Chains A and B, each alone.
Chain A
């Protein structure tokens, strides 16, 4: 291994670290930059398709909002229609292939009841992911002070947060698929809406899943004392960078899919 050691101190001979970070952390940053471009392309692609469709008529939407305010039991309200709430929206022309559906009418479910709670579940998911980002950064901070016990606790909390987020996403996908949204069909409007929803949230969810797996491996290493022995917890910091990036991407998934 002695050939790795650089004896010269001249910058262009490789005798200095130009970014003043370790090799692994620099590569993590560059990987995240490339991943940011991938997600940017997906989300900007979604936004482009979304804006090339007209949205639902605003006076009709206003009327619907007064008709079914927050907390309305939509199953009870539209039980006369054989296809329920979605069928009623299709009959009224609010869900049509020629216009983009308003997110408040698509993402209005909450576990445990059938009440109209628009955007509340996704807000909860966002909160869970932000919280797990906080526990992750606290693990990194404890690692910088070499406090192994705290790193263990915060890493475990981060993993739990990630699993909770994945559970929420599984539930949301189940609801969405149950209502007839597939990669190739979509009762809420244009097919591209469902296709891009599954593609982008699926790609993000897969990042969360791999983040949980990597976090778990690092957590086991913390338990074994690998980093204590190594003299630094930079591995926790590197996996932390990845985890925060996943949170960062969710900020934009939330913005583009659920708000716009």
Chain B
């Protein structure tokens, strides 16, 4: 955007202006998006069904957390288009989240210790 008379090409990859530069958008169709919708719907119904069919405990909770992570992956990769992003961006977003899985394991072990301690 050197001045108002000669607007810069916002898609120019060679001489680009980092403030206004935008890669050219192109659609990947709606078929995959609807597939993700059905997967999310089925997994949510499965969640409720499992709640009423399996006895409460670590096994059932493990299934719920696993299905939650699967649903989250579908939202991030399909709805948020992470599949179509550059691999460096994918890694920057997904790898830090592995710390959270470690946090879950760590804190659940801690909770079991509190349980033994208190009751």
A contact set with B: CB distance below 8 Å: 1-2, 4-7, 9, 14-15, 17-23, 26, 29, 33, 36-37, 40-41, 44-45, 47-55, 58, 98, 102, 104, 119, 123, 126-127, 130, 133-134, 136-138, 140-141, 143-145, 231-234, 237, 240-241, 244-245, 247-248, 251-252, 254-255, 259-260
Contacts and interface: CB of A to CB of B under 8 A. Distances in A.
28 contacts: A2-B2, A2-B3, A6-B18, A7-B15, A17-B16, A17-B21, A17-B23, A18-B86, A21-B85, A21-B86, A21-B89, A33-B93, A50-B111, A53-B115, A104-B52, A127-B41, A127-B44, A134-B33, A134-B37, A138-B30, A141-B30, A231-B10, A247-B75, A251-B71, A251-B75, A254-B44, A254-B68, A259-B47
A18 B10 contact: no
A234 B17 contact: no
Query: Which 3 residue pairs are nearest across A and B when measured between Cβ atoms?
Result: A51-B111, A52-B114, A255-B68
Contact of B80 (A98, A123, A233, A241): A241
A145 B33 contact: no
Interface in B72-93: 72, 75-76, 78-81, 85-86, 88-89, 92-93
Most chain B C-beta atoms within 10 Å of own C-beta, residue among A37, A130, A240, A251:
A251
B100 A37 contact: yes
Size category of the B interface is: 35 or more
B5 interface: no
A36 B98 CA distance: 12
A75 to B, nearest CB: 22
Contact of A130 (B37, B112, B118): B37
A234 B2 contact: no
A18 B88 contact: yes
Mostly, the B contact residues are helix
Given A5-B2, A6-B18, A126-B44, A244 B79 contact: yes
Contacts of B45: 123
A251 B49 CA distance: 16
A4 B79 contact: no
A48 B108 contact: yes
A10 to B, nearest CB: 12
Interface string B36-56: 010011001101100110011
Contact of B100 (A44, A58, A240): A44
